[in-house]
Amino acid sequence: KTVCVTGASGFIASWLVKLLLERGYTVRGTVRSPEKSKHLLQLPGASDHLKLVSADLLEQGSFDQAVEGCDGVFHTASPFFTKNVTDPQAQLIEPAVKGTLNVLASCAQARTKKVVLTSSVAAVAYTPKRKSTSVVDESWWSDSDYCQETKAWYNVSKTLAERAAWDFVKEKNLDMVVINPSMVLGPVLQGSKNTSNDIILDFLNGTAKTFPNLCIGWVGVKDVAMAHILAYESALATGRYICAERQLHYGDMVALLSKLYPTYPICAKVVDETVPTIPPHNLSSQKLRDLGLHLLPTEDVIHETVTNLKEWGLLD
Ligand code: NDP
């Protein structure tokens, strides 16, 4: 049982590698930097069953060697950040779209039996057709023109990348399932900061003075990693899988954090008018729950996140 995980050193992928090793898989993880990947080599089972391979999303053929001979490929690597975007095409869109097609081309060449792609709710729920009564499920697609107009560049990157992936696998007759997580929180294995946990960190340490006027889904990182594995292992798994334990407006997340951690200097009291708003919605993870995954409640995920931030010295 050999599988490849692209972007293995990332937040979600590190957990995916850990759980795959625990389940007896032999894993080839692609990474860009040996420095950022050291923690993977410390995972139980890594010395015998994990091999790290260097690969870059924008280098043609870069993944050929990593994917060759693997039964399955988990493609998680993609840039994830929303701040300091000065050149969206070069920073986000090209690595996401070209990178995905690059990995899938290697899979087609290697005749990979099954691919699991990490997409996002960013590719599902951001469309002006959304109403507050909408139940957003896997049949929904973000509108990339609308995302461009609102400068939601990360959402553009994920929407175009997932669309390109579906077109590619259809043409090449590859088996693919897609995981669409909402905002992912939880313990990091790699000890560095990451975009989604930073939201909680900035609220707790008082750096964030405002919050977006947005209602989004939240989910734990271990559940997202396990969703990838269940989707891979289940012969019945098909299409896309939204992963969200619940919906919370950012303002309600701030209120929840204030209730759970009354001693932290949380001061985000007003909405950030610069972030475009969109009506709240009900995000359905029913399809994922039907695969047998029980999602950890968001309070518990927050608790794990905070404990971990303290362990890494990122929070007092
Ligand atoms: P991380 O930033 O921790 O992981 C991103 C990974 O992609 C890293 O391993 C990074 O490598 C790799 N990567 C980025 N650019 C390149 C490149 N040019 N070539 C090779 N590798 C590259 O973020 P997450 O773990 O949170 O994200 C993983 C996936 O999950 C992404 O596809 C993201 O869009 C998706 N996702 C994340 C959510 C979240 O809330 N965290 C929500 C929904 C989806 P390196 O370590 O070298 O930087």
Distance 19 CA to ligand 1 centre (A): 18
Q: In whole angstroms, give the CA distance from residue 12 to residue 229.
A: 12
Neighbours of 164 (CB within 10 A): 16
Residue nearest to atom 17 of ligand 1 (CA): 57
Q: In whole angstroms, give the CA distance from residue 221 to residue 11.
A: 8
The pLDDT assigned to 54 comes to 96
Considering 36, 38, 83, 158, which one is annotated as catalytic? 158
* Ligand 1 lined by 98 (C-beta under 6 Å): no
The pLDDT assigned to 193 comes to 84
Residue 93 CB contacts under 8 Å (≥ 6 apart), including other chains: 153, 156, 157, 160
Neighbours of 262 (CB within 10 A): 8
The pLDDT assigned to 186 comes to 97
Vertex 183 angle, CA 125 and 114, to 5°: 75
Q: Which of the residues in the chain have pLDDT under 70?
A: none
The pLDDT assigned to 233 comes to 98
25: phi then psi, degrees, rounded to nearest 5 = -80, 150
* Ligand 1 lined by 184 (C-beta under 6 Å): yes
Q: Does the active-site annotation cover 131?
A: no
Distance 259 CA to ligand 1 centre (A): 31
Q: What single letter denotes the amino acid at residue 186?
A: G
Residue nearest to atom 41 of ligand 1 (CA): 184
Q: What is the pLDDT of residues 277-294, one digit of tens each?
A: 888 888 999 999 999 999
* Ligand 1 lined by 186 (C-beta under 6 Å): no
The pLDDT assigned to 217 comes to 96
The pLDDT assigned to 190 comes to 83
* Ligand 1 lined by 7 (C-beta under 6 Å): yes
* Model ipTM value: 0.98
Element (H, E) at 184: strand 183-185
CA dihedral 176, 73, 119, 163 (to 10 degrees): -50
The pLDDT assigned to 67 comes to 98
Distance of CA 59 to the CA centre of its chain: 22
Question: Is residue 176 within 8 Å of 115, Cβ to Cβ?
Answer: yes
Question: Is residue 315 within 8 Å of 167, Cβ to Cβ?
Answer: no
Q: In whole angstroms, give the CA distance from residue 154 to residue 151.
A: 9
Distance 262 CA to ligand 1 centre (A): 32
Atom of ligand 1 nearest to the CA of 77: 7
The pLDDT assigned to 278 comes to 84
Q: What is the pLDDT of residues 110-123, one digit of tens each?
A: 999 999 999 999 99
Distance 58 CA to ligand 1 centre (A): 14
Atom of ligand 1 nearest to the CA of 95: 18
Q: What single letter denotes the amino acid at residue 179?
A: I
Atom of ligand 1 nearest to the CA of 194: 3
Distance 9 CA to ligand 1 centre (A): 9
The pLDDT assigned to 175 comes to 98
The pLDDT assigned to 133 comes to 86
* Ligand 1 lined by 198 (C-beta under 6 Å): no
Question: Is residue 126 within 8 Å of 110, Cβ to Cβ?
Answer: no
Q: Give the dihedral sign, CA 200/204/205/210.
A: positive
